[in-house]
Amino acid sequence: REGSPGGLWQSGRMGQTTSLDFCGALSGIGGLLERRSSGARPPPQGYKRARSGSSGYISRGDSVLSCRAISRAISKAPVTRDIDAAVLETALDALSSRVRPWDSGSYALVKNLEACVRNYGSVDMMDDVRNARKVAVKRMPNSWLREGPAEFARRNKGVSEQPWLDLAVLTELNKRRYPYACDLLSVLRGRRYTYAVMSLATQGDLFAWCSSKPAPGPQLEAMISPIASQMFSAVRWLHNLGIAHRDLSLENIMLTDSPFDVPQVKLIDFAMSTTSRMCRLEPRGKPSYQAPEMHGEAEYDAFLSDAFALGVCLFALAVQGYPWASTKRVSACEWYRCVEEHGLRKLLEQKRLRQSGGRCITEVLSPDLVELVGGLLELQPAMRFHLGENCMEEEAEAWRSVWETSWLQEPLEGELCVADEATASTSSGGDTDASSDGGSTELGDAEKAVPCEPQLPACSVSAEGCSA
């Protein structure tokens, strides 16, 4: 688009590609490229659709914004795995020196956003008086955080929730201008609490977002598509940097205002993340989102378990309900046992949506979306769709990428929204202007023992009909 902050434009002659500076704000550019379906909005003013079978818009001149060309160009500038255990160890050591005294007069409470149960605190929206802006403030008791990362590690060996790790990862992502993370503005300490001050995600989390959307169907799919593309791009980029999140959920994916029609995705809560791709005996995340291999004794691929969690997120966005309550083999979840015995397709044919007149999922969702969800929720990791990470593309045995599916190819957001990744990954030091948190559902007391997700509207009938 002429006059845009940046982009990759390919001229009419093959191979002449000019790279302009991509800024973090363009991570939401996927929203500019609309689905080729009835009811889709027209191309930007001054543009017309490319010829049938082409992959982009034709501009006033001869330039073509080709998503496929961009994808190929990006692949020539691989993202390095430059965040490793040593980098995070250095960041943890530096965090202690960043902690400053809490000045209660500088912040005024606006409202509580959510309980922060696993950290025994809360997340609040506050007015930053000195800078005249609203911020999200995570408040955690000093009795839990201790004096710093070293003492916390000594006192809390083996715990899955690592609040200092969350802040260290966020610090390193901000340095690398990772556009899908919040800005960590400051870490402050008072007499009883430590406060992590972050910029505010203005539209809340995906749980609240999907709860207010239309019933499952084509209209909802069109709204989900650009959000899903950003989700996949965000986690792909995170993996390319060397980090697996391991706690992806609707509550940990935030939305904030962007210059475009589609809100910007932000990932939060890296307290269960790891720089080790292969993990063992470390089930992490909420029960509905955990990949089944997490519960076994063998090593599991944390990148593929993140892909599985995104599959649950996509299912929940499209269906407005969870596919199952737990993926443990010993669980009493009838729906998960149905999938184990008969496959996901059987569940989709049996599970009915009350908000869509009692129709089954396969009658409501498009075949392309069913294919994508099925690939991400594959119980066998070796057959599961991956997110197109560099390491996966290099592995001959890797299965299929989500970017090869028709549901993401049609609106063309997927390949384009990784465009800013190539530039930002080669530079560091610039913080993004994004944010943390704003409005997710409060967690229940029962989550103190086993974190679990809030309940979306019921979408199922009894699983008794799930038979061969």
pLDDT of residue 455: 54
What average pLDDT is seen over the chain?
A: 78
298-302: average pLDDT? 97
Kindly tell me if the per-residue pLDDT of 462 is higher than 90: no
Q: What is the pLDDT of residues 13-33, one digit of tens each?
A: 333 333 333 433 343 343 333
In DSSP terms, 109 is beta-bridged to 126
* Residue 348 CA, distance from chain mean position: 24
Q: What is the pLDDT of residues 156-198, one digit of tens each?
A: 998 999 999 999 999 999 999 999 999 999 999 999 999 999 9
Q: How far apart are CA 222 and CA 225, in angstroms?
A: 5
Q: What is the pLDDT of residues 432-448, one digit of tens each?
A: 333 333 333 232 333 33
pLDDT of residue 201: 97
pLDDT of residue 235: 98
pLDDT of residue 39: 39
Hunting for tokens 């969800």 — which residue is that?
Answer: 373
Q: How far apart are CA 430 and CA 442, in angstroms?
A: 33
pLDDT of residue 436: 36
Tokens at 38, concatenated: 């009835």
List strand residue ranges (DSSP E) for 359-462, in order.
359-360
Cα dist from 416 to 21, 26, 29, 33, 464, whole Å: 14, 10, 8, 9, 44
Tokens at 86, concatenated: 């040593």
| Range among 71-75, 210-214, 315-319, 420-424 rated most confident | 315-319
Residue 350 makes CB contacts below 8 A (sequence gap 6+) with 338, 360, 461, 463, 465, 466
CATH superfamily for 82-200 is: Phosphorylase Kinase; domain 1 (3.30.200.20)
Q: Of 192, 196, 190, 170, which Cα lies nearest the Cα of 181?
A: 170
SS3 for 115?
strand
End-to-end CA distance of the chain: 52
pLDDT of residue 196: 98
Cα dist from 409 to 4, 172, 224, whole Å: 23, 32, 14
Q: What is the pLDDT of residues 357-411, one digit of tens each?
A: 899 999 999 999 999 999 999 999 999 999 999 999 888 888 899 999 999 864 3
Kindly tell me if the per-residue pLDDT of 52 is higher than 80: no
Q: Model confidence at 112, in pLDDT bands (50, 70, 90)? A: very high
Domain with CATH 1.10.510.10 in the chain: 201-409
CB 438 within 8 A of CB 125: yes
pLDDT over 90 percentage in the chain = 63
pLDDT of residue 28: 39
Pairing verdict, β 107-116 and 121-128 = antiparallel
Q: How far apart are CA 72 and CA 393, in angstroms?
A: 13
Kindly tell me if the per-residue pLDDT of 65 is higher than 50: no
CATH number belonging to the domain at 201-409, selected among 2.40.50.100, 3.90.950.10, 1.10.10.10, 1.10.510.10: 1.10.510.10
Domain with CATH 3.30.200.20 in the chain: 82-200
CB 211 within 8 A of CB 456: yes
pLDDT of residue 395: 87
Kindly tell me if the per-residue pLDDT of 275 is higher than 90: yes
Tell me how long the chain is: 468
Residue 205 makes CB contacts below 8 A (sequence gap 6+) with 250, 251, 252, 253, 254, 255, 437, 438, 439, 440, 441
Kindly tell me if the per-residue pLDDT of 430 is higher than 90: no
Q: What is the pLDDT of residues 326-357, one digit of tens each?
A: 999 877 789 999 999 999 999 999 999 988 88
DSSP, res 426: T
